Chain A
Amino acid sequence: MKPASFDYVVPRTVAEAVEALGDTGREAQVLAGGQSLILEMHLQRIRPGAVVDINRVPELDGMRVEGDELRVGALVRHAAFEPATAVPGPLGALLSRAVVNIAHPPIRSRGTMAGSFGWAHPASEWCAIGVALDATVEVTGPAGARDLPARDYFLGPHRTARRPQELITAVRLPLLGADTGVGFIEHRRTHFTFAQVAVAAALTVHDGVIVDARIGLVNAADRPVRAHAAERSLLGAETGRLPAGPRLPDGHPFALAGRIAAREDAAPVAQPYADVEYKRQAVAVLVGRTLLEAAADSHARLTAREGHHR
């Protein structure tokens, strides 16, 4: 099928975009990258009365560090995060490890990070990283601008706290300190499918002891999940000597955290080729492996820093 007819609006400023969205007489959709929206319009699962194309609003483009946060404008494409050095520190490493799992280069050259937050698909890599790191979604509506913490933002599949007349102007992610190691691992059937499960992890380690843990679960519930229970189980644990290879001994703190994430944090929704039990098993295994990757990353960063000081 082809998209049904709609009014096409091309605002030049955020104010004009909000005004176009505020016209409540018709259902309006924001077009940024369009890599999900135009597909849904093909299928006519979405038939907007108006499409507000924000691609010509210069103030929505670009990302920059503001204080201890990275502010990502609504027009920043996925591809911008591919170089690990595009964003400073471990956050840049985490985003670059995650981004290669988002579709393919020709999709990443159009799709945007803020668009992923707007679309709020449970299998979105960015959204899980957002809840794990306590990101903030900036929106502007007829009543002005407001900040929505990621933890209160996702309400279910494609359902968020954004009101229909509000435009996402940016997503803010806290930068990660040099003592934090990161990992991201995704599991899917083929190169062309969404994640069955993926895990993002950030571990802050002081003198071999975990002092902060962040774990985000992709597609492990009807919305992105922060694995609080698994994170708590890690606080105070010693990373010790890391096991070689991906298989963890049953009693290892990372294996334990994986089982806790699968049992207490995940609330999997059955999908074709991945029933609830399968997803719980995948969460348990992937959380363990991703924590191992994050611990190894933290160790490598420490070694590099010590080498640098010598």
Chain B
Amino acid sequence: MKITLDVNGTRHALDVEPRRLLADVLRDDLRLTGTHLGCEHGICGACTVLMDGAAVRSCLVLAVQCDGSSVRTVEGLAGPDGEPHPLQRAFSAERALQCGFCTPGFLMVAAGALEADPGLADDPDAVASVVGSNICRCTGYEPIRRALTRAAREQRDATACPARVQPRSPEPIEENS
């Protein structure tokens, strides 16, 4: 089946079997192997990407379902000049990864939450719910919670004090019908 997929701002015309998962098409057809596949049961969250701005498990979405949608993967987080996304800087600063397998999923679920909720910095329960979405077997989650909180505060302070240097704003997510 022929579909059009907008991935990280680039349009791809693809011919995919309906049974193929979004995760497999991203990894095998588009060679975007930053999206990791862990359990393929929707539990671990390593494959989390943004579909039309919302965090989804790419192992529980068929690629054909995304026809006409815009998808954002971990490869789309950094700026065009390679400047790390505020979340990537926060993960580094807080040592929020060790082996790194779960990191792309955590970054994307966090990116979705940051964009959807400008008040995330002041809502520890919402942060806990985002951190609790995915599985990490190394860090014990606390550094990931700190990293997300750090990035959320940075975003809040940048919005509150326009005089300060603005972090790179994320690319607009297209609305799709």
Contact = CB atoms under 8 A, between A and B. Distances in A.
Contacts of A109: 54-56
A41 B19 CA distance: 9
Contacts, number: 84
Contacts of A191: 132
A5 B19 contact: yes
Given A42-B40, A100-B129, A107 B109 contact: no
A16 interface: no
Interface of A: 2-8, 31, 34-35, 38-39, 41-42, 51, 53, 55, 79, 100, 103-107, 109-110, 191-192
B29 to A, nearest CB: 14
Interface stretch (B61-69, B79-87, B95-103, B155-163): B61-69
Contacts of A2: 19-21, 24
Interface string B37-73: 0001111010010000011110111101100000000
- Nearest 9 pairs between A and B by C-beta? A8-B18, A104-B133, A109-B54, A106-B55, A3-B19, A38-B60, A191-B132, A5-B19, A106-B48
Interface residues of B, number: 32
B62 A192 contact: no
B116 to A, nearest CB: 9
B113 interface: yes
Nearest to A37: B60
Contacts of B48: 106
A110 B24 contact: no
B51 to A, nearest CB: 8
A15 to B, nearest CB: 20
B54 to A, nearest CB: 4
B18 A6 contact: yes
28 contacts: A2-B24, A3-B19, A5-B17, A5-B19, A6-B19, A7-B18, A34-B62, A34-B65, A35-B60, A38-B42, A38-B60, A38-B61, A42-B40, A42-B41, A51-B18, A53-B64, A79-B54, A104-B129, A104-B134, A105-B113, A106-B54, A106-B55, A107-B42, A109-B55, A109-B56, A110-B60, A110-B61, A191-B132
A127 to B, nearest CB: 19
Nearest to B41: A39
